[in-house]
Amino acid sequence: MKRKPSFRNAVLTALLVAAVVPVLAIGLITLTIERRNLSDHVGTTNLTLARSVSREVAGSLREPQSFIEHIGKVMGRDDGKAREQARRLLEEVRAIGLFESVYLLDRHGRVADVAFAQNVPASPRDYLGMDLSNLPVLRETLARGGIGRSKVFLSSATGDPAVMFAAPAGEGAVVGTVGLRVLSRIAEQIKPDDGGSVIIVSRAGKVIGHPDYTLVQRQTDLGGMEIVRAGLAGMAGTHTYAVDGVERLGSVVQIPETGWLVIVEVPLAKALAPVTKIESIFWFGTVSTILLAFLLALAGRAVVLRPVTALVACAREIARGNYAFAPPPPSFREVDELVDNFSAMTDAVHGRERELRDRNEELAMTEEELRQQIDEYQMSQDQLGESEERYRLLVESSPDAIVIHCAGRYVFANPAALRLYGADYPDQLVGRPITDFVHPDSREVVAERIQRLYAERKPAPLSEQQLIRLDGTVVEVDVIGIPFTFNGQPAVQVVLRDITRRKLAEERIRRLNEELEQRVSERTILLETANRELEAFSYSVSHDLRAPLRHIDGFSMALMEDCGDSLPETAAPYLEKIKSASRRMGQLIDDLLDLSRVSRSTMRRESVDLSRMVRDLAREFEESQPDRRVEFEIADGVVAKGDPTLLRVALANLMDNAWKYTGKKESAHIRFGETVIDGERVIFVSDDGAGFDMRYVNKLFGPFQRLHSADEFEGTGIGLATVQRIAQRHGGRSWAEGEEGKGATFYLALP
């Protein structure tokens, strides 16, 4: 048994508490308020300083951003002096050192000119012609049409953090790299109070500005700190945290233009130093007060508690059963009255004790029996309550309708049943006969099922049934009945599920299947008819049209050979034109047949080495006209999934197109390769030949559509239509870009 505290100690404790608790409570409350006020003051000061640093950092980035925009606007002018002005601006870049590097890019993303800061050991010649089209900031800028800024990265030239600015510049772009060492200088120049420091963190949580530049060079990651996560979430504020075992008080704000963070932190101990001094004085005074109160309590206890101690000794003797105790000597009046009362009480207790001893024995036996009965009853009640609660929750939350009927009438309905029957309150169902809601066609079957349930007391199997709602509408339901006992009487619990939507869906699917079968049959007949007509047309073209053409060509040649001397001088050119026209008609027929075969041939898909296929085609063109000077630039490793025969036909038409339209140049350049446009892999063939006017680009891929006359360039206008058809059969597409006199590029996108 736990020992109770003595009255002596209680008096001593009460005196100490009365003297010490008010002093301790007032002092702790004062210290807490002062600590909070000082923390709020330091946090407010740090937040103000962080916002100031944020504005200074944002301002340091505006000048290079404006410079890049200015170069882009200069390059976009049409006055003919843009290039010279841009070169002068690049010279300024080399002189002032605002950028590590600035690149002028052409419309293909290649470096046309470059300038490096004086401290960057790089040669501009090594970068001319370099392809920078895959830079994310460049793609974002060209897609958006405005100035763009990259994420923070480590410069390969200086090893410092840096960002890139990019802006459109005429048909090309301008890209500038800005070193971020200035952020560390800003952090070093601004000195918070109490030995604090300024830290600038990127959106990735890396340190990009710090008075200790080694942390920047190591790219120290602070992304796991709570203050950094809160700042990146846009929640400016002050936080307390520990770094290397030292508690710090830090304030964070986000730079709106960049999303970077500025953290101003100070050691918590230095920030709260004034409160710490007050706290030391307070504890010294508290300890002194406790010692003084303790001494006074000891002196008072010796005087006040001496008679009380004697009375406690008498009470201890009575507790041991010694009722003939010696009373204590006279003392205070109150103590003497208490002694007299003790004597009277002792006599009464002594007699009562004998009576209670006998009664207690009887009560103990009765109590034990009652305890056992109560335990058994409580256990059964708990189990019953849990079972009822589980059943209630199950029924009320069930998505299926659950009703209970007894003697042919509803006695219970859950919320799902109210919704199914269209009722707002249970009273609209409870008490009504179940036959009111059974469809007349089903009443006999339902009555038989209910009779069997009451008789056999076995669950009825699942069945479909029509139910009449309160508003008179009919719904299809799945029904299952379970024997039940309600208020001690036989009843049936019925579970219903609305299957109206399922029935409607089944009927809709059946009708759609019938319509689909009818459409498939009709389309099959139309397709078979079209194929037969196409085959008949192909046969007619390949046999009936070729014979007259051969006759025209043959008789024209015979006429020239047999009667050439007797014909007028003007007749020979006419005959040559007749022969040329018949040959061109024959070629046109061949091209039409090829286009027809492309549309009807069976496809097979496999991996095709397009680079090797283009090299074979290029070799064939060079062998056919060895006197031409054409440079082929063919990318390696271009592979696609598709039909090898159809892909060769498409590439042959594209390469023939490039070969033909560069025929009037002394030296030509034809390129083949792959690139990515808007996230789509694309194969291209480009040349520097005659080109075309983009206003008529939609005519290129139509049959018989030509942008150049037959006298200028040979052809029938079927080749590009064949390319488009092959691309479509592969699930892709083709398109072209060009400029008159500057060549053209044809693209082929294959999934």
In angstroms, the CA 745 to CA 444 distance is 80
Q: What is the residue type of 359?
A: R
What's the pLDDT score for residue 611? 92
* H-helix or E-strand spanning residue 409: strand 409-413
Hunting for tokens 């963070």 — which residue is that?
A: 261
Domains of the chain, each with CATH number or no CATH: 76-179 (3.30.450.20), 398-498 (3.30.450.20), 500-600 (1.10.287), 604-749 (3.30.565.10)
Q: What is the residue type of 283?
A: W
What's the pLDDT score for residue 404? 84
- CA-to-CA separations, 212 to 157, 197, 215, 224, 281, in angstroms, rounded: 21, 10, 6, 20, 38
Q: Two tokens at 107?
A: 């419309």
Report DSSP letters for 47-85, one per residue.
Answer: HHHHHHHHHHHHHHHHHHHHHHHHHHHHHT--SS-HHHH
- Closest by CA to 750, choosing from 617, 608, 618, is 608
Encode burial over 643-671: b for 16+ CB neighbours within 10 A, e otherwise.
beebbbbbbbbbbebbbbbbeebeebbbb
All residue ranges of the chain with pLDDT < 50 are 1, 704, 709, 711
| Overall size of the chain counted in residues | 751
Encode burial over 716-729: b for 16+ CB neighbours within 10 A, e otherwise.
bbbbbbbbbbbbeb
What's the pLDDT score for residue 1? 44
Q: Two tokens at 602?
A: 């069976």
Hunting for tokens 């709570």 — which residue is that?
A: 226
Hunting for tokens 């942390």 — which residue is that?
A: 215
- CA-to-CA separations, 209 to 165, 197, 253, 745, in angstroms, rounded: 19, 11, 14, 47
How would you classify residue 559: left for phi > 0, otherwise alpha for psi between -120 and 50, otherwise beta?
A: alpha
- Using N-to-C axis directions, what is the helix angle for 719-729 and 644-661, rounded to 10°? 150
What values do phi and psi take at 655, rounded to 5?
Answer: -65, -40
Say how many C-beta atoms besides its own lie within 10 A of residue 424's C-beta: 9
What values do phi and psi take at 568, rounded to 5?
Answer: -65, 160
- Closest by CA to 611, choosing from 668, 654, 651, is 651
pLDDT in tens, 686-739: 999 888 878 877 777 755 455 554 545 555 556 777 788 888 888 888 888 888
What values do phi and psi take at 715, rounded to 5?
Answer: 145, 165
In angstroms, the CA 190 to CA 174 distance is 34
In angstroms, the CA 164 to CA 177 distance is 4
What values do phi and psi take at 670, rounded to 5?
Answer: -120, 130
pTM above 0.75, yes or no: no
What values do phi and psi take at 431, rounded to 5?
Answer: 95, -15
In angstroms, the CA 228 to CA 221 distance is 10
* H-helix or E-strand spanning residue 681: strand 680-687
Alpha carbon 706 to chain centroid, angstroms: 49
- Closest by CA to 141, choosing from 202, 76, 69, is 69
Q: Are strands 161-169 and 111-116 parallel, antiparallel or unpaired?
A: unpaired
In angstroms, the CA 158 to CA 179 distance is 8
What's the pLDDT score for residue 547? 58
